[in-house]
Amino acid sequence: MDQARWTEVDRYFDDLLVPADPVLDAALADSAAAGLPTIQISPSQGKFLHVLAVLVGARHILEIGTLGGYSTIWLARGLSAGGRLVTLEAQERHARVAKANIARAGLSDMVEVRLGPALETLPILAGEKRPPFDLIFIDADKPATADYFNWAVSLARPGGLIVVDNVVRKGGVADAASQEPEIIGMRRFAATMAADKRVTAAALQTVGSKGYDGFAVAVVKKQ
Ligand code: SAH
Ligand code: DHB
Ligand code: MG
């Protein structure tokens, strides 16, 4: 079992489940042309997030880590009528490319891209009068993931869903001796999530066109 097989299987499912989509293709092409790193979620992962947004009947979605807006478009297309998505991005260039991609997708009225380091924009967001979020997708700088998770729990509604990308890092997350800041960050996040009595949570390993990684999901308890 290797990368070629994982990519082949993603292609098989994408052919069945992810219709050809000029808007998403253009978002990827323009992101690459602008020199953004190609670290966005895969098409099947995008469809998966879209299904989750539909499942929770999301009217309010928060994303931490926009890049070129690829995952943003998948999530925003899963909003229910009148829904809104806020996405947080630290890099001005990434935010600019994302805004253009979101506009081409016809989603500018539903999506707000907020520029700034998320640990600065999250407290501002929390101070605003706005409904709690139904779905929060965390996919920014990995060392701060535990901090984003704590913000997410306080910003989500009871029953709200928190999804975290890149929690496995090619299996590195199981290495307690790792010196990589990303692995150390994901281990701190996993311990934080596990200890948080306000959520019930799971983590799942994935393989596919983007390699070997995984998602964590946590639902905020209702009582
Ligand atoms: N969710 C995107 C990929 C995000 S890549 C997708 O799948 O399509 C991670 C993004 O987080 C990058 O654009 C990076 O600039 C951004 N980022 C890094 N540190 C950040 C911070 N402190 N606050 C907000 N965004 C940050
Ligand atoms: C990488 C992948 C991601 O999905 C991400 O959000 C950040 C980095 C990577 O492959 O390095
Ligand atoms: Mg990611």
**Is a pLDDT exceeding 90 seen at residue 122?**
yes
pLDDT in tens, 4-25: 999 999 999 999 999 999 999 9
- Structural domain of 88: 3-220
Could you give the CA distance from residue 168 to residue 175 in angstroms, rounded to a whole number?
Answer: 10
C-alpha neighbours within 13 Å on the C-beta side of residue 92: 0
Residues with CB under 6 A from ligand 1: 39-41, 65-67, 70-71, 88-91, 94, 117-118, 139-141
**Is a pLDDT exceeding 80 seen at residue 119?**
yes
User: Strand 199-208 to strand 156-165: parallel, antiparallel, or no bridges (unpaired)?
Assistant: unpaired
Alpha carbon nearest to ligand 2 atom 5, residue: 39
pTM, two decimals, is: 0.98
Q: What is the CATH number of the domain that holds 125?
A: 3.40.50.150
Could you give the CA distance from residue 132 to residue 165 in angstroms, rounded to a whole number?
Answer: 21
140 Cα nearest atom in ligand 2 = 6
pLDDT of residue 223: 75
Could you give the CA distance from residue 152 to residue 167 in angstroms, rounded to a whole number?
Answer: 16
Residue 175 in contact with residue 200, Cβ under 8 Å?
Answer: no
Question: DSSP strand E in 37-190: where?
Answer: 60-64, 84-89, 111-115, 133-138, 156-165
Give the Å distance between the CA of 122 and the centre of ligand 2. 21
What amino acid occupies position 102?
A: I
Q: How many domains does the chain have?
A: 1
Q: Candidates 31, 72, 166: which one to mutate for ligand 2, based on the most atoms within 8 Å of Cβ?
A: 166
pLDDT in tens, 126-171: 999 999 999 999 999 999 999 999 999 999 999 999 999 999 999 9
Q: What average pLDDT does the segment 84-94 reach?
A: 98
**Is a pLDDT exceeding 80 seen at residue 1?**
no
